[in-house]
Structure 1
Amino acid sequence: MRSFSSLWYWIALAVTWSTTSHWVLGVPFDMVSRARRHAGPGADELVTLTRINVARLLLIGREAGLALTLVASCLLSLLVVLGFVYHFEFAQAAALILVPLSLVGLLSLRAAERLEPGLQPGGLDAEAVAQALTRHRFRVQLVGLMAISVTALWGMFQNLSHYYVG
């Protein structure tokens, strides 16, 4: 299971980070751009969709957060140990996608908690919501950039070491 030499792995990595940076807190970023350009119904829809997704995300975090944290920690630890201690390449590849995505999940929960009070009626306007979503998207893109860079370097190292070793 040579993951790093598979074109499909690199396509999956690119699609994962492209999708993750486009859907910020469950809101498509083109909606944020549209709301900034055209005030009115687009801006109201942005605030409404953000309010719905923030409430949904925080409900999941508050209701099942402990269980999700325990299960995710166990699975990520298993992947990291299988991959980097026992040198199972598929586990390395999965860990290099899922560990940074878990960080994005934590950043999303944090952003949702910061946005929640301002999304009540009479709270933040659409421009403030758009700015908060843009800042969160920038952080997600930084995590994605670092994850893709580390994955590319590790993948090249793995491919070259397999090439020379046998």
Structure 2
Amino acid sequence: MSLFDLLSWDAFGSGWFWSLIIVQWVWHGAQVLGVPVDCLQSKDRGQLSTIVKWRVQRRLLAARQAPLAIVAAISFLVSVLLILGFVYHIELCAAASLLIVPELVIFRLGYRTAETISAKRQGPEPSIKDLKKLHLKIYATGAMAIFFAGIFGYGFEVLTQ
């Protein structure tokens, strides 16, 4: 039996999809804008403020320097995945879109939070408060992603058989 045989193209019924979704949300739950969540509880606010400013500037720079061609290509690919997955019922495309779309939502939420922190030029306490709000939004996005993956997975596994 080869490795190719072990990988099931039956996306929602295989372990690879659920393993990826678990790793994805454990990763997002451990850090916010690249700052580990444990650091948000740190007593050293000066060092944390420096890390937050650095990470905010990196996020803003990355988002502002993204060429229009990259944004258009990502939009096109995600649209194709959504259409193939949910209109033409190709299970692998539906599973891939349920992994990718929440990433785009989290990127947008992070960008908006980075803009807020950068525009206000605020001290460490309001920045930490904004990061904690972002962390809760990431958890809510993760819960919705897992919920929809379960619902659509059930639909693909049971209703299309």
1:18 pairs with 2:16: no
How many residues get paired?
A: 153
Structure 1, unaligned runs of 5 or more: none
| Equivalent residue for 1:141, pick from 139, 142, 157 | 139
Q: TM-score by structure 1 length?
A: 0.85
CA–CA distance in structure 2, aligned partners of residues 68 and 111 of structure 1:
22
Q: TM-score by structure 2 length?
A: 0.88
Aligned to 1:128: 126
Alignment of 1:1-150 (within 5 A): 1-33=9-41, 35=42, 38=43, 42-64=44-66, 66-118=68-120, 123-150=121-148
Deviations 1:68-107 (A, max 9, x none): 3212211101111121122211111010111121111111
CA–CA distance in structure 1, aligned partners of residues 112 and 119 of structure 2:
13
Deviations 1:8-40 (A, max 9, x none): 21111011012113221111111112x2xx2xx
Structure 1, 82-91 or 59-68: larger mean CA deviation: 59-68
User: Which residue identity does 2:28 align to in structure 1?
Assistant: T
Deviations 1:52-82 (A, max 9, x none): 1111111111111533321221110111112
Aligned to 1:160: 158
Q: Identity over the aligned pairs, expressed in percent?
A: 32
User: Which residue identity does 2:134 align to in structure 1?
Assistant: H
> RMSD value over aligned CA atoms?
1.5
CA–CA distance in structure 2, aligned partners of residues 148 and 65 of structure 1:
31
Structure 2, unaligned runs of 5 or more: 1-8
CA–CA distance in structure 2, aligned partners of residues 83 and 117 of structure 1:
39
